[in-house]
Chains A and B, each alone.
Chain A
């Protein structure tokens, strides 16, 4: 999946991947896609849940061995 921005959270445990995602998304434009890479397996549940609460869209999850990539689209009107 294509992404406008990437965030490397490999080696970080919850809540850090989510905290960093929240920070990064703030700096992005609505409609842009963020790729978050992590190896904490909890992210597979955490990110969709975070998206449900914040309203951003969880586009999908890809796994490459130990690494998990989650794709999040920032909500809002694209200008």
Chain B
């Protein structure tokens, strides 16, 4: 059996436009027969948090983080020109008019195509996030060594 080429992405950013870029590349890689893994860390974790429910956290600071940094695919903002939400709203409108899939649809597509969604265990620990904070498509938490082991076997490795 042919060995599949591997592709890894580190998703550090939590903004809508960067999230789209990450998923578009991941999905295209999968459609080219590559084995794709996405490692979400820091602000990137916001992309894969559940949309509904509250984010739990031990201690005042983590609780504040859970509110100020709620995350979830429907709450992502543009990295520029957010303009208190107006810019993000306009961009989403443009994309809808262009018949473009939403980030939510991309996440579902990616999962269906076998793209692995992996959260970084360290940032989860610091921010007090457990597996329950994330959507069902997301796999178990993993660390830098796991990522690097995948990355060194990958033909394509990207940092977003």
Interface membership of B100, Cβ < 8 A: yes
Q: How many residues of B contact A (CB 8 A)?
A: 12
Asked, given contacts A14-B24, A15-B24, A19-B27, whether A53 binds B32 with beta carbons under 8 Å apart, the answer is yes
Instruction: Find chain A residues with CB under 8 A from B79 CB.
Output: none
A61 at the interface (CB under 8 A from B): no
Query: Considering the chains assembled together, what is the distance between the CA atoms of A50 and B101 in angstroms?
Result: 21
For A14, the chain B residues whose CB sits under 8 A away are: 24, 28
Do residues A50 and B98 form an inter-chain contact, with CB atoms below 8 A? Answer: no
Interface contact A19-B99, CB-CB below 8 Å: no
B104 to chain A, nearest CB (A): 15
Asked if A15 and B31 sit within 8 Å, CB to CB, the answer is yes
* A19 surroundings in chain B (CB, below 8 A): 27-28, 31, 109, 113
Chain B residues with CB under 8 A of A13: 98-100
B143 at the interface (CB under 8 A from A): no
> What distance in Å separates the Cβ of B100 from its nearest Cβ neighbour in chain A?
6
Over the window 55-99 of chain B, the binary record of Cβ atoms lying under 8 Å from chain A Cβ atoms (1 yes, 0 no) is 000000000000000000000000000000000000000000011
Interface of B is mostly: loop
Q: Which residues of A contact B101 (CB under 8 A)?
A: 16
Is there an interface contact between B27 and A15, defined as CB atoms closer than 8 Å?
Answer: yes
Binary contact track A19-35/B, C-beta < 8 Å → 1, others 0: 10111000000000000
Q: How far is it, in angstroms, between the C-alpha of A34 and the C-alpha of B109 when the chains are bound? A: 22
- Please determine whether A18 and B99 come into contact, CB atoms closer than 8 angstroms: no
Task: Decide: A50 and B24 in contact? CB cutoff 8 A.
Answer: no
13 further A-B contacts with Cβ under 8 Å, apart from A19-B113, A21-B31, are A13-B98, A13-B100, A15-B27, A15-B31, A16-B101, A18-B28, A18-B31, A18-B32, A19-B31, A22-B31, A50-B31, A53-B32, A54-B33
- 3 smallest CB-CB distances across A and B, nearest first, come from A22-B31, A15-B28, A53-B32
Name B residues whose Cβ lies closer than 8 Å to a Cβ of A: 24, 27-28, 31-33, 98-101, 109, 113
